[in-house]
Structure 1
């Protein structure tokens, strides 16, 4: 090695260089952040997987053929009928309060109580799911039920809590069954029964599950809405307003505001009509694709994306995709996402961009525009006492329900 190079590489000289270079780099980095906004997202996908699962677009399974559509499904109205509200923004609504303001354009429905009680099976069906073998149903899970009864029209709707075991003896659930006998029901999932008349009937795919309840949870979503029609709500959600004005559309939701390339959609909140050909086509995708990988969203986000691309290629108007903030406003940038539900409020009690956290303030106003807060399975994290979730949501549920 050359003598000059050896001299430059001596530890003392290297250390002296770093003492100067590191502060200079930090200075320029700080100055750069004042003028530029970095966007960094790294994801690695296998090219052969992308080619097979994303870029290849097989034909539809024929579910939208008039002869194949169920008599209970009005194809003309579902695809081309007039609509009161617009829910598909067309852009990601990433800037400022755009998404929340768009959610506020969906106006509530004002209806008088029906003259006589509507039987449970004739109501708008809402569905959710709890795996009894993973954790007991307790007070934390009860908040989702309270959010439903406090925000939805209990004269016209029914919430069905599906499970893989009998929950009838749970004292919490017995209380709500007694209070809302027409608006609440418990059912045990029977995959074989729910899959009748679909391409999944008799398929070994009905036996698939995983420890996270992702695969079987995604399967239950599709099967129960196919059989009963209605709305799916993930159990780890807190509803904030009546979903009724959304239900003229069939929809899934946007995963987050970043518009992920291969997983842009989420099924934590979704709505389809009974025997919807959209779901029929979803079952066709499931049986003609590789089995789902455990612990993945292969039957969730990936499935919806593959189905949507097939619909477009087949000339079928696709289902709607609600903007991220309608149900998942935690999933965006620091400056416009909802505050962390599991962190204590900052000392100044303010939300980002100067919106107050108190009742009647900016955060409260935003919660009245969006439809749900999705908590992403963080069951073991408690809501901080006197935090915004307790003040602006949980207390209101109890007030509306009479502290039941």
Structure 2
């Protein structure tokens, strides 16, 4: 064929692309096939993907976007959970060594309930085994609604006269109320005076007497002078003499009588036991406000429930307690104190811990234990958000409500609850003032002043 001649070659349809030989599957064992299926190559590829994702995720813009999504979702989830579920969370950590040494062992009693050791001033047949006119044990927890306040209302004043008992075996028919103030910690002022006013306004002053104990001389205090003049038979001041009060106890002459701390916890716990041993009667903490006559309770010897949740190792409180003169319960308490480790500074070792040790030893020896007043009787702040008393130092809300639709007005739900319980425990907080016009002022303080004014007009000076 000459240079100028040519022949037309056949053309392939564009719609039928020529297959790439490299795209065809290689035969097994070929180098290409080995590279694709190599696990090391696959792992390398995933590592590159992981590093890429992590790099992008750590960029500020990406983090901000994630937060904008995650935070609202978390809030929505939490709100949805609260609408469906009622959380109950309380965390407490206790040393296992401490539990094994202080809680688990139940040691024998010290013999105070033996017939030859019962004081002639203590009538065990009447005090422990005799018939009672009031019931202070609910039998079940009272955490729901107004159950505790309603139960307090079952203890009515009809049992007052039947429940009254002489303070000692020496013919003294007055029940002694005791309280304590440390003169070296703070001055006795108007805040402390409210306990005195609550006592004078709510208790029968012909059947009781209030003794204010202190570690120093308070006779020069102008506030106290006023009440001493007004109620010379129902009020007196005394200075604590630990050695004298500890006579005939296992603490007599012990160096433990010198124990104290900067918050008056240790010496306060000691004083209450000593004065009740020596004189019998009722102990009430200075940071309390009495709300009704305690007479229906006085046939019992008791401490109080710490709160409505029954703390595992500290279920009891001594802010309000009652024991008879030379009670064997107190004798056993002194035995525990004398044979145990000294109290830790700032602890309730001679308070809540002591009471639970004593209770367990009593029941182990088949001795009926002292009674436990339900939480709301004396400390209505110590329960759930929906049924505890309002904070005494926070102003009332604008709607005037307490809880469950109950109001804070005179004659309202809160007022009725306060009329049923026996005391309000303020838990110190001495630096705080009661809000003007608040529920404490309206439902308690003003009424104390009104009752005391009426008593003055009726000639109780």
Q: Which of the five TM-score ranges fits, normalised by the shorter chain?
A: over 0.9
TM-aligned CA distance change 1:48 to 1:75, over 3 Å? same
Q: Cα offset for 1:22?
A: 2.6
Q: Secondary structure at the match of 1:80?
A: coil
For 1:137 and 1:36, the matched residues in 2 are separated by: 47
Taking structure 2 as the reference length, the TM-score comes to 0.84
For 1:108 and 1:218, the matched residues in 2 are separated by: 30
Select the structure of larger CA radius of gyration: 2
Q: Cα offset for 1:27?
A: 1.3
Q: Secondary structure at the match of 1:48?
A: helix
For 1:90 and 1:146, the matched residues in 2 are separated by: 34
Report Cα offsets for 1:302-341 as digits up to 9, x if no partner: 1001110111111100000000000000111110000110
Q: What is the RMSD computed on CA atoms of the aligned residues?
A: 1.7
Report Cα offsets for 1:12-50 as digits up to 9, x if no partner: 344433332332222111111111011110100000100
For 1:323 and 1:151, the matched residues in 2 are separated by: 20
Q: Secondary structure at the match of 2:283?
A: strand
Which runs of 5 or more structure 1 residues have no equivalent in the other structure?
A: 113-118
Q: Which residue of 1 aligns with 2:49?
A: 4
**Contact 1:250–1:271 (Cα < 8 Å) also in 2:** yes
For 2:64 and 2:218, the matched residues in 1 are separated by: 67
For 2:333 and 2:91, the matched residues in 1 are separated by: 29
For 1:83 and 1:393, the matched residues in 2 are separated by: 30
Q: Which residue of 2 aligns with 1:264?
A: 315
Q: Which residue of 2 aligns with 1:107?
A: 156
Q: Secondary structure at the match of 1:143?
A: helix
Deviation larger for 368-377 or 394-403: 394-403
Q: Cα offset for 1:271?
A: 0.2
Q: Is residue 127 of structure 2 the alignment partner of residue 78 of structure 1?
A: yes
1:5-404 matches, within 5 Å, as: 5-9=50-54, 10-12=57-59, 13-109=62-158, 122-402=173-453
Q: Secondary structure at the match of 1:83?
A: coil
Q: Secondary structure at the match of 2:70?
A: helix
Taking structure 1 as the reference length, the TM-score comes to 0.96
Higher RCO (CA-CA < 8 Å; seq separation 6+): 1
Which runs of 5 or more structure 2 residues have no equivalent in the other structure?
A: 1-45, 163-169, 457-461
For 2:139 and 2:344, the matched residues in 1 are separated by: 31
**Contact 1:120–1:183 (Cα < 8 Å) also in 2:** no
Aligned length: 399
Q: Secondary structure at the match of 1:34?
A: helix
Q: Which residue of 1 aligns with 2:19?
A: none
For 2:53 and 2:138, the matched residues in 1 are separated by: 59
**Contact 1:120–1:182 (Cα < 8 Å) also in 2:** no
